[in-house]
Amino acid sequence: MSTATTTGSIPGYAFGDPSLPRAPLSDEDFQKLKATVLFTEDDERYLRMAGDVLEDQIDDVLDLWYNFVGSHPHLVYYFTDPQGEPIGDYLQRVRARFGQWILDTCRRPYDRAWLDYQYEIGLRHHRTKKNQTDGIRSVDHIPLRYLIAFIYPITATIRSFLEKKGHSAEDVEGMHQAWFKSVTLQTVLWSIPYARSGDW
């Protein structure tokens, strides 16, 4: 089993960058959050398994997700310029980081560096930092309601990819549940900048 995470030189990918802001939650808060989505060591094991299943299917997963976004004008809108045209460069750069995110979700330990990058990803969807990483002019903010709603398609569509490598029904289900928990957990972390101080 490979545990490598392909970081290479993906433009704008800043996992582990010491200059990132610290995620404003304690280890204890994070443990409670994990317990709330029933995330256990079994899920960690299943995510590692999912990483091995998905690593050579990343482009196919991204094609599907990008088709989904591209076929909904109200979603592709968040990648458009002031004239309403999708910014190809922006879509491509985010796509590379999105691919890395799939592997990070499966293979990274969910430690402080990971928490800090979750906080960063939340800021990048929020008006605090959207567009800055790629230096483009686009819509300045993605509403929280779409972040939350996205949990469903990002989870439902991964299943057929998890089924492709001949794993038992039990393993596929385990990988899928672990993925669902992780995406939920991450979306909760990304919601930090959207909540009023003290409300999160």
Q: Quick check: 131 and 140 in contact, CB under 8 A?
A: yes
Q: Does 53 bind ligand HEM (CB under 6 A)?
A: no
Tell me the C-alpha distance between 133 and 121, whole Å.
11
Tell me the C-alpha distance between 142 and 78, whole Å.
7
State in angstroms the smallest separation of the CB of 97 from ligand HEM: 4
Q: Which is nearer to ligand HEM, 118 or 197 (CB)?
A: 118
Tell me the C-alpha distance between 178 and 74, whole Å.
29
Tell me the C-alpha distance between 56 and 73, whole Å.
29
Q: Does 158 bind ligand HEM (CB under 6 A)?
A: no
Tell me the C-alpha distance between 151 and 172, whole Å.
18
Q: Which is nearer to ligand HEM, 78 or 194 (CB)?
A: 78
Region 65-104 residues binding ligand HEM, contact defined as CB under 6 A: 69, 75, 78-79, 94, 97-98, 101
End-to-end CA distance of the chain, in Å? 38
User: Which residues 6+ apart lie within 8 Å of 152 measured at CB?
Assistant: none
Q: Does 150 bind ligand HEM (CB under 6 A)?
A: yes
- Distances in Å between the Cα of 91 and the Cα atoms of 67, 162, 183 are 12, 25, 21
Q: Does 183 bind ligand HEM (CB under 6 A)?
A: yes
Q: Does 146 bind ligand HEM (CB under 6 A)?
A: yes
Tell me the window of 18-26, 81-89, 130-138, 173-181 that interacts with ligand HEM (CB under 6 A): 130-138
Q: Does 133 bind ligand HEM (CB under 6 A)?
A: yes
State in angstroms the smallest separation of the CB of 163 from ligand HEM: 20
Q: Which residues bind ligand HEM (CB under 6 A)?
A: 12-13, 69, 75, 78-79, 94, 97-98, 101, 121, 124-125, 130-131, 133-134, 142, 146-147, 150-151, 154, 183, 187
